[in-house]
Amino acid sequence: MNEDIKTLTISIYTENNIGLLNRISAIFQRRHINIESLTTSQSEIEGVNRFVIVVDITESQAKKIIGQFEKQIEVIRAYYHTEEETIYQESGMFKIKSDLLFDEPQIQNIIKESNARIVTVNKDFFVLEKSGRRQEIELLRRELNAFGIMQFVRSGRIAVTKEEMKITEMLQAFNNQ
């Protein structure tokens, strides 16, 4: 049976311990799975971090990987979600020569049409920030490439699920035992 490869968002709730990122990435490496995006931050629960990892894999691979994550001592819970089950964004920043902002009216149109915002301007450069889906940020990058981008960086995905995950209740029940 051939399963379709899908873009999945994996959420891993963990304690904040040294070396955990290495072990998480090793699970993907052993299976020859490329991580498309990885973001980690404080979660909605005090003292618990959340990894948000985007990968292109089958659902059966995802189930196996989730099982491997949950064997890690520091991992509290791991989930995977399809694109349709999540609300997500990425952010990109673009550093561009300042003279282009004033000399190229097309740059101003691109900024306005893309809903990007100017973060800072000085005599040498200006910085744009664009939040949205990856394809929106990539479109802006392609449009600005024609004028020259001094620096570009894009964040990993941040995501929340449409359905309640109930991780908070699970942890509170666990803490009360």
Express each pLDDT in 47-61 by its tens digit: 889 999 999 999 999
Express each pLDDT in 3-20 by its tens digit: 899 999 999 999 888 888
Tally the residues of the chain.
177
Report the candidate in 125, 128, 106, 126 with the shortest Cα–Cα distance to residue 116.
128
Phi (first) and psi of residue 5, to 5 degrees: -80, 130
State the CB neighbour count (10 A cutoff) for residue 40: 17
Mean pLDDT estimate for the chain: 90
Report the candidate in 32, 40, 9 with the shortest Cα–Cα distance to residue 134.
9
Q: Residue 46: is its pLDDT beyond 70?
A: yes
Report the candidate in 24, 31, 19, 45 with the shortest Cα–Cα distance to residue 167.
45
Give pTM, 2 decimals. Answer: 0.82
Express each pLDDT in 100-130 by its tens digit: 988 888 999 999 999 999 999 999 999 999 9
Report the candidate in 150, 103, 98, 151 with the shortest Cα–Cα distance to residue 125.
98
Split at pLDDT 50, 70, 90, the class of 161 is: confident
93 Cβ contact partners less than 8 Å away, ≥ 6 residues apart: 119, 127, 128, 129, 130, 151, 152, 153, 154
Write down the pLDDT at residue 18.
86
